[in-house]
Amino acid sequence: MRTAVLMLFIKAILCIFTAQSSGQAGNNVSFFDINFKSFLNYFLSGLKNLARIGRIFKWDEVFYKEPQNEMTSFAISDTEKMLFYKLALLSQQTYSVEDYYDGKLKKDYEMAVQKYKRANDMEQTPKNGRKFSIFEVFYTKTEFVKNYLKGIIFTVDRTTVIAYKGTSPSLLGYGNSSSSSDKVFDNIAFDCNLSPERVKNLFYLEDARQIYLDVKRRFPNNRIVLTGHSMGAAIASSVGYIYNEYVIGFGTPGDHQIIKRLHPSKQKTHDKKKPSGVIDSLFAKIGHKTVHVSDCRDVIYRGACNGQVDICKISGYDIKTKCHTGVTLCFDNEGSLSLLKHTIYSIVEKLKQEKLSFYKVDESGCGKTECKDKLKGIFK
């Protein structure tokens, strides 16, 4: 298997020079873009072919362990699925946030707040009697970068969404400005050995908390919804747990370990007041203020990246946790386990489908088995 991947890798590098000599470089595209895209396309298509062959010889069992959690059907309405889709799309957009120098909220944030205050005085029902939709009344979208933590603040009428960016992976040394910091966070937060000394290096959590407090100060009367993908979802979950806010995370790695260590005395309860919209109704039905959503065959989300050959660790990410805080939902329980199903792009595309079955994952006994095997190995 390793030999096959190595040969594929070498052929993908040769593909770079083939792309250069094919005349593509005559376009107004950089040499790096052409070569890197050619390499990536060739390499990924080759991996997909290997995966198809692997299913015949049951290679999946070598890389991943099938999750043993029971799942039951869970009814999600079209409106609720649209909410998931909109938030997943916003989480996807966080990966496009660029760097800027001062590391604070952009200067136009104050202008956006003033615009919001003026907009709150407008009539909620136009003269023709047609009511505004949830995404039509008023909105403002602002990107933020605090140190290496990136994201988007999106305000719709009286709801403000904070979306935290997830992990920007690096490939062959190429990545963006936050790739190294993202990897440090992942390898600490989602490892079983989360000691107090290592927790001090999770600086993203403090930055995320400061962003939340700034938004809360500027929009004191708004409903706050925290979201994100992968690492960003775990960050949103941690901040939401502290301040008892709504959280909808996508592809969240197991966040139970980190929340248990950082906030052991906190206990989140859902408000039992009468729901007043799609968001309130969704969480009233769920019965918790945190919900995680992803593909049922997402290996990181399901904690299945723990086979005989640790494919996550080979990629540089030592992700061992699998238990979640709150309610765990998944969709499309078909096909084989895959790392590709963890990407936000895959999640967004699935949520666009008209017919999509949702399931509730039973993690009631998850904490009893999480990290136990690794701890036994440490104290042998």
3-state helix, strand, coil in the chain (%, to 5): 45, 15, 40
Q: 297-356, pLDDT tens digit by residue?
A: 998 998 877 655 666 766 667 777 888 999 999 999 888 888 889 999 999 999 999 889
Q: Cα separations (Å) of 27 from 23, 24, 30, 68, 98?
A: 8, 6, 8, 51, 25
Over residues 202-222, the mean pLDDT reads 92
DSSP type of residue 156: E
Query: What was the pLDDT predicted at 216?
Result: 94
Q: What is the mean pLDDT of residues 76-102?
A: 87
CA distance 188 to 201: 8
Task: Tokens for 166, please give them.
Answer: 């997830």
Mean pLDDT of the chain: 75
The per-residue pLDDT for range 62-74, each reduced to its tens digit, is 566 777 778 999 9
d(CA 230, CA 23): 39
End-to-end CA distance of the chain: 32
Are the CB atoms for 185 and 112 separated by under 8 Å? Answer: no
Angle at 47 between CA 43 and CA 53, to 5 degrees: 145
List domains and CATH numbers for the chain: 72-126+134-363 (3.40.50)
2-59 pLDDT, tens digit each: 455 455 555 555 555 555 454 444 444 444 444 555 555 655 565 555 555 445 444 5
